[in-house]
Chains A and B, each alone.
Chain A
Amino acid sequence: MVDGGALGAVAIDIATRSIITGFAHADLVSPALLDVLLGVVPPSGPLTLLCGGPPPSAARELFVAGADRAMYCAVLERGELIIVAAPAAMSVALGWTLVRSLTAGGAAP
C-alpha cells in the first residue's frame, strides 16, 4: 500500500476486528467509534433518542470533515471496514478516490 497523500489508512475485518492492512492507524479510529459505526452498540445519544431511536441499517459510507483532517469510512459487503484519514485541505474527490481504490483491492494512486 502506498499512502497516496493520506495521513493514515486501515482495513479492518468487521467480524474479528483484526487489522488486515494499514499504516499510521494508531489513533485513526477508537473502539467506541467502531462500536457505533458498525452498529454493535446502538447509538444512544440524546439526539438519536429524540429522533425515535437508532436506524435499522448499518452505515455504508461516512465522511467527516474536521479542522485538521477528514475521515472517509466505507463498510464493505465483503465484511471489511476501510478508514482513510486525509489532510483537511486534500480534495474530497481524491479522498474518495483513495477509498475506492482501496475497496477495489488495488493500491492507492
Chain B
Amino acid sequence: MSPRPASLPPVVVVADGDAELRDTVIDFVSARGYRVESAADAETAAGLLLADKVDVLISDLAMHGAGGVNLLSFARASAPTTRSIAIAANMTPRDRDVALRLGAIRALDKPLSLLELADAIDLARDCADGFRGWMHRMSLVDVLQMYHHAGQSLVLSVSGNIEGAVWFHLGELIHAECDGRSGMAALTALLTAERGRLETSAFVQTTPTIAGPFDHVLLDGLRSLDERRGSATDGATTMADDGWFDEPTEHSALDREALVRWLAEHAPGAAVWRIDPRAPTVERIDSRGDNPEIELAGTPGALGWAYELAELTDPTWTRVELTTGATAISIMRVPGVVLALARLVTGEASLRQLRIEGAQLVRWLHDHVGRPQ
C-alpha cells in the first residue's frame, strides 16, 4: 500500500449493517471533507482496510458475520495507522472496555450523536501519531507539564469530584473551565483535584482566558491555591503577629521522613536542605541518590547568599528564588520551617521545573507542617 498524497482527503470507513445509519454517517462525514467508504459487514470492511490507507474506521460492534470486535482486532494487527471508533446499541461497560482495549479511541452509544462522532473523528485524526493508552498515578500537574513540554494543542478534561477542562495551544495553557468559572479561577480550582480521570480530545477553538508563559501560569495557579489554603488555616490573624516568621524550633512538627518520601517522588534529582538560620545549621535532607546534581552538595554557598539577599530585600520575605551561574535555588519560609531547593540550571526547562517544584513544596509544607507551639 503506497502512501497517499497529502493533497487527498483522509479516508473514513463506516462498517455497519444498518444501511440507514451508514447513509447518515456517510453524508455527515463527507460534508466534513473526508472520503468515505462503507461496508455492511466486517469482511468487506477488512478488505477496504487492506486495499487502501484508511485513516479512521467506524465500526459497529454487533455486525453480522465476523463482527465488529474481530474487525477492531484485525484493524489493530493489519492496519496499525488506522484509528478506530466503536459504536453499538445497548453497549455494556464490558463491551466498551473490550473496544478500548482493542485500540478504539472512543466507544459511542447508538443512537449516535453526530456531535460526539465529529469529536471522535477529530480525535482519531489527532491521534495519527504518538502513543495512546492508559496511565495511572499521574498527578494533574505532571500531565499539564507533559503536554506543555510536548508543545501540544488539545483539550484535557478532568472528571471526578472536580470536573472541568483546560485548553492547550502549542503547549501553552490558554483557557480553563471548572464549575461555571473560567480562566485562572477555573485552573486553580482544577489544581485542587487530587484524583479522578483525565481524558484528552482534539483542540477546539476557544476564547483565551489565560495569558502568559506556561510555567508562570502554573506557578500562579499553585500559588493562589497555596494562599487560599494558607488563608483558611490562618483565619483572621496576620502573618506578622502569628509567629509566621518564627525561625525553626524543636517544636515545629516537620515529618522529616514524609518530606523525604515526598521529595523522592515529586522532586527527584533536586538537592534539598533544611535551614536553621539562628544556629546556624544547614542539613541536607534529600535522599542523595544517584543523581547528577550531587555536586551541589559541595557548593551550597549560593544558598547562604540567597538568604542574605532575601533579608536585605525584604525582611518579611516568604520565598526567594536565585539563579546564579549554573545553580538555581528556591528558599521557602513557612511557619517553623525554612527549606531550600536547588537544581543545576541546564536551560529554561530545569529552571521552570525548580519553580514548579518550589510551589508544590510550599503547598506540601502548608498541608503537613504543624505550627510551632
Residues on A close to B: CB < 8 A? 30, 32-33, 36-37, 43, 45-69, 71, 91-94, 96-97
Contact, CB under 8 Å: A33 / B304? no
CB of A68 within 8 A of CB of B316, answer: yes
Residues of B within 8 A of A92 (CB): 216, 219-220, 223
Sample of 22 A–B contacts (CB below 8 Å): A32-B312, A36-B309, A36-B312, A48-B304, A49-B304, A50-B304, A51-B303, A53-B301, A54-B304, A55-B301, A59-B309, A59-B324, A61-B322, A62-B309, A62-B321, A63-B321, A65-B319, A65-B320, A69-B314, A93-B213, A97-B213, A97-B216
Is B207 interfacial (CB 8 A cutoff)? no
Identify which of A55, A56, A96 gathers the most chain B CB atoms within 10 Å of its CB. A55
Residue-wise, chain B 304-324 has the 8 Å CB interface mask toward A (1 for contact) of 111111111111111111111
Chain B, interface residues (CB within 8 Å), range = 35 or more
B226 to chain A, nearest CB (A): 11
A61 CA to B300 CA, complexed, in Å: 17
Contact in complex: A66, B318 (CB < 8 Å): yes
Q: Inside 8 A of B220's CB, which chain A residues have their CB?
A: 91-93
B151 interface residue, CB < 8 Å from A?
no
With both chains docked as a complex, state the minimum distance between the C-beta of B145 and any C-beta of chain A, in angstroms.
16
CA gap between A50 and B307 in the complex, in Å: 12
Most B CB within 10 A of own CB, among A43, A45, A48, A64: A64
User: Which residues of B are interface residues toward A (Cβ below 8 A)?
Assistant: 184, 211-213, 216-217, 219-220, 223, 239-240, 275, 277, 280-282, 298-327
Q: Which residues of B contact A46 (CB under 8 A)?
A: 277, 280, 304
Describe A's contact surface by its main secondary structure.
mixed
State which of B219, B275, B309, B314 has its C-beta within 8 Å of the C-beta of A66. Answer: B314
Q: How far is the CA of A49 from the CA of B324 in the complex (A)?
A: 18
Q: When the two chains form the complex, which single residue of A64, A67, A97 contacts B309, counting CB atoms closer than 8 Å? A: A64
